[in-house]
Amino acid sequence: MLWQIFCLLAVAVDRYLAVKIPLRYNELVTGARARIIIAVLWILSFVIGLIPFLGWNCKVTMCFQNVSSNQNTTSREGIHTSSKLPCLFESVVNMHYMVYFNFFVCVLPPLFVMLGIYVKIFTVARKQMHQIELKCSVSSNGDSHHHGLLQREIRAAKSLSIIVGLFALCWLPVHILNCMTVFYNGLHKSPIVMNIAIMLSHANSAVNPVIYAYRIQDFRNTFRKILTRYVLCQREELYLHSSNGSRRNREQIHMTIDPLLEG
């Protein structure tokens, strides 16, 4: 989850730069910098995910409570029975870690930042579209080309905002239940509701590739290229053919995809 939300935040910043400063975008966003950012996000997610293993958990506390309240007993039939610690999510992971650190620090702030970024993206894009439309009477080919690129960025931003919305929809229920566990200690939660919330959070990972493939043409073409090159072992070149078939778009996609694949 942490890797996913950090990645969505990085992509949101990337799309904002593409819309806000399109002329400097290729200069700022390079393959080398993208690899560094990806590596940093993986390391950060890994370190945060290790925190419960390093001691911030309730395993020892739950074991002690379980043993003290349910000591080894002997049944009426003389059979010796021992207490068992139930393997439940809330019995292993500390809810204060999940709520105060994981949710309030690592999930909510990026969600609000992404919300602000996408609102800003659509605001900037609408202003630029309006400026281009005002120049339509004396527009040049460059203006029409910029108009097409801007529309493409808007479509990508819409697709990514849908992905962020689905992320919030899938993950907020389990975090809300965790908050209820911490703030309403005596509240009884149905195990069915908790299991549904957990399954919904995991289902988000299965939904994302479908949204990417359906909404983003670059994703489809990159996936085909990876499949052709590394699964089918073919060196066939695949290009993203835009609606006008411009060579500039194909070269731009090549510059973006090839360093990531060959690295």
Which residues are CB-neighbours of 147 under 8 A, at least 6 positions away?
129, 132
Pick 171 or 251 by higher pLDDT: 171
- Sign of the dihedral defined by the CA atoms of residues 29, 30, 35, 40, in that order: negative
- Comparing 35 with 89, the larger pLDDT belongs to 35
Q: Token pair of 184, please?
A: 């309403």
Amino acid letter for position 14: D
**pLDDT tens profile 112-168:** 999 999 998 888 888 877 777 777 655 555 556 666 777 777 777 888 888 899 999
Is residue 188 within 8 A of residue 101, CB to CB? The reply is: no
How high is the pLDDT of residue 176? 93
**What's the pLDDT score for residue 145?**
63
Indicate the burial class of 262 (C-beta count within 10 angstroms; 0-12, 13-18, 19 or more).
exposed
Assigned token pair, 138: 């004396």
Q: Note the pLDDT tens digit of each residue in 175-234.
A: 999 999 889 877 788 888 988 998 998 898 888 888 877 877 778 888 888 888 887 777
pLDDT in tens, 95-104: 888 899 999 9
More confidently predicted of 58 and 128 = 128
Q: Rounded mean pLDDT of the chain?
A: 76
pLDDT value of residue 146: 66
| Closest among 7, 26, 50 to 208, alpha carbons compared | 7
SS3 at position 74: strand
Burial zone of 231 (CB within 10 Å; 0-12 exposed, 13-18 middle, 19+ buried):
exposed
Each residue of 88-97: pLDDT tens digit?
Answer: 667 777 888 8
Least confident range from 5-19, 28-42, 156-170, 212-226: namely 212-226
Express the helix, strand and coil content of the chain in percent, nearest 5 each: 75, 0, 20
Helix (H, G, I), strand (E, B) or coil at 240: coil
DSSP letter (8 states) at residue 57: B
pLDDT at position 58 is 62
Backbone φ and ψ for 80, nearest 5 degrees, come out as -80, 125
Q: What does pTM read for this prediction?
A: 0.68
Q: Name the pLDDT band for 71 (thresholds 50, 70, 90).
A: very low
Architecture of domain 2-65+84-167: Up-down Bundle (1.20)
Higher model confidence: residue 244 or residue 22? Answer: 22
Domain limits, the chain? 2-65+84-167, 216-263
Please say if the pLDDT value at position 238 is more than 50: no
Beta strands 80-81 and 73-74 are antiparallel
Residue 240's pLDDT is what? 44
Strands (E), 21-72: none
Higher pLDDT, 3 or 235: 3
Element (H, E) at 81: strand 80-81
Higher pLDDT: 228 or 85? It is 228
